[in-house]
């Protein structure tokens, strides 16, 4: 039987040179891009809530007899909540298991920043190329 090959545009990125930790996504898929930008918007909205919680925690700077802030458990819980929220959202956009492939069992806010910094250029480059094809070329009809 004859067949055809279709380049679906899927990108496969290995995390930390570990072939067992691979992230797959298709920056050419408009549904993926729609989900990605919805995630960005959702996070921007959620960030206000997180910032308010941080402000409340910083308003109480009491320390215990060892010099440790008494709201340390609440501060840690906030970090856990943010990490869990981001993992959930990443798995919604990129597919189940993506967070585990990217971050393993580690919970660190810095890792999410690195993840988005690493992924976003692929999405922006692909989208720029797609949009450029449809833009009016000066001097050409």
What is residue 112's predicted lDDT score, i.e. its pLDDT?
A: 94
Regarding pTM above 0.95, the answer is no
What would the pLDDT profile of 5-58 be if each residue is shown by its tens digit? 988 889 999 999 999 999 999 998 989 999 999 999 999 999 999 999 999 988
What is residue 125's predicted lDDT score, i.e. its pLDDT?
A: 84
What is residue 131's predicted lDDT score, i.e. its pLDDT?
A: 57
What is residue 141's predicted lDDT score, i.e. its pLDDT?
A: 53
What is residue 8's predicted lDDT score, i.e. its pLDDT?
A: 86
- Spell out a b/e string for 70-103, using b for 16 or more CB atoms within 10 Å of the CB, else e: ebeeeeeebeeebbebbbebbbebbeeebbebbb
- Least reliable range by pLDDT among 4-13, 17-26, 117-126, 129-138: 129-138
Res. 132: pLDDT tops 90: no
Q: Is the dihedral of CA 44, 45, 47, 51 positive or negative?
A: positive
Res. 133: pLDDT tops 90: no
What would the pLDDT profile of 85-117 be if each residue is shown by its tens digit? 999 999 999 999 999 999 999 999 999 999 999
What is residue 138's predicted lDDT score, i.e. its pLDDT?
A: 58
């Amino acid at each position: 039987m004859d067949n055809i090959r279709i380049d679906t545009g899927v990108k496969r990125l290995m995390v930390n040179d570990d072939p067992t930790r691979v992230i797959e996504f298709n920056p050419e898929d408009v549904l993926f891009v729609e989900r990605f930008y919805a995630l960005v918007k959702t996070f921007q909205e959620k960030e206000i809530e997180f910032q308010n919680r941080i402000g409340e925690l910083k308003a109480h700077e009491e320390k215990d007899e060892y010099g440790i802030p008494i709201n340390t458990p609440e501060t840690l819980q906030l970090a856990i909540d943010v990490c869990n929220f981001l993992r959930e959202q990443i798995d919604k956009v990129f597919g189940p298991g993506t967070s585990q492939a990217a971050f393993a069992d580690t919970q660190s806010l810095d890792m999410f920043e690195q993840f988005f910094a690493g992924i976003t250029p692929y999405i922006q480059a692909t989208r720029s190329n797609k949009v450029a094809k449809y833009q009016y070329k000066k001097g050409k009809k």
